[in-house]
């Protein structure tokens, strides 16, 4: 826009264009649009990050922590302590082999200082134990 000029005889007066005044509704609309775009981009970023995390976790095997002494002491069946010990060790080996075949990483609980209860393999009750 070209500024208007007027010749008053003494000095040249240049009129400046009036600043653009946005209507109140336009300002609120622009603010609302900014919020919508920010929320949409945050949701899209969150979704992409979640997908990457799930893909990374899918490559890792599930982890199971086993306390072998608890299994040998409590899971074995038999009349004598020696029979219960051997049966508990056999049942432990079978459980570990089954978990390994399913793709789990089995860790000896005696070497672990702390684990959440969700990753601990519970000891089954021995059936004919006296």
- Residue identified by tokens 């949409």 is 40
Whether residue 5 is contained in a domain is answered as: no
Sequence-distant (6+) residues with CB within 8 A of 17 are 1, 3
Structure confidence at residue 97 as a pLDDT band (50, 70, 90)? very high
Domain boundary among 58, 82, 107: 58
Q: Would 68 be classed as within a structural domain?
A: yes
* pLDDT attached to residue 3: 54
pLDDT digits (tens, 9 = 90+) for 33-87: 999 999 999 999 999 999 999 988 888 888 888 888 888 788 888 888 888 888 8
Task: Record the pTM.
Answer: 0.51
Structure tokens given for 32: 């609302």
**What pLDDT shows up at residue 84?**
85
Same domain, 81 and 107: yes
Using the predicted structure, report yes or no on whether residue 128 has a pLDDT greater than 60: no
**Is residue 86 one of the residues assigned to a domain?**
yes
**More confident site: 47 or 124:** 47
Tell whether 68 and 84 lie within a shared domain: yes
Residue 11 lies in a domain: no
7-11, 88-92, 123-127, range with greatest mean pLDDT: 88-92
For the chain, the domain total comes to 2
Average of per-residue pLDDT values in the chain: 82
- Boundary (domain end) residue, out of 6, 41, 58: 58
22 and 45 belong to one structural domain? yes
Q: Cα angle vertex 29, ends 23, 31, to 5°?
A: 110
| 24 occurs within a structural domain | yes
| Domain around 45 | 17-58
Q: Assign 130 a pLDDT band (cuts: 50, 70, 90).
A: very low
The last residue of a domain, from among 58, 75, 110: 58
Predicted local distance difference test score (pLDDT) of residue 46: 96
CA-CA distance, 62 to 83, in Å (whole number)?
32
User: Do residues 67 and 115 share a domain?
Assistant: yes
């Amino acid at each position: 826009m070209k500024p208007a000029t007027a010749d008053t005889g003494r000095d040249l007066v240049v009129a400046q264009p009036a600043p653009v005044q946005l209507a109140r509704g336009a300002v609120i609309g622009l603010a609302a649009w900014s919020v919508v775009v920010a929320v949409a981009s945050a949701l899209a970023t969150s979704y992409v990050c979640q997908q990457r995390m799930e893909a990374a976790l899918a490559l890792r095997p599930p982890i199971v922590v086993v306390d072998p002494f608890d299994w040998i002491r409590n899971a074995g069946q038999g009349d004598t302590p020696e029979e219960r010990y051997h049966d508990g060790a056999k049942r432990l080996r079978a459980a570990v082999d089954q978990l390994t075949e399913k793709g789990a990483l089995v860790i000896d609980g005696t070497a672990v200082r702390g684990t959440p209860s969700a990753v601990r393999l519970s000891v089954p009750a021995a059936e004919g134990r006296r």
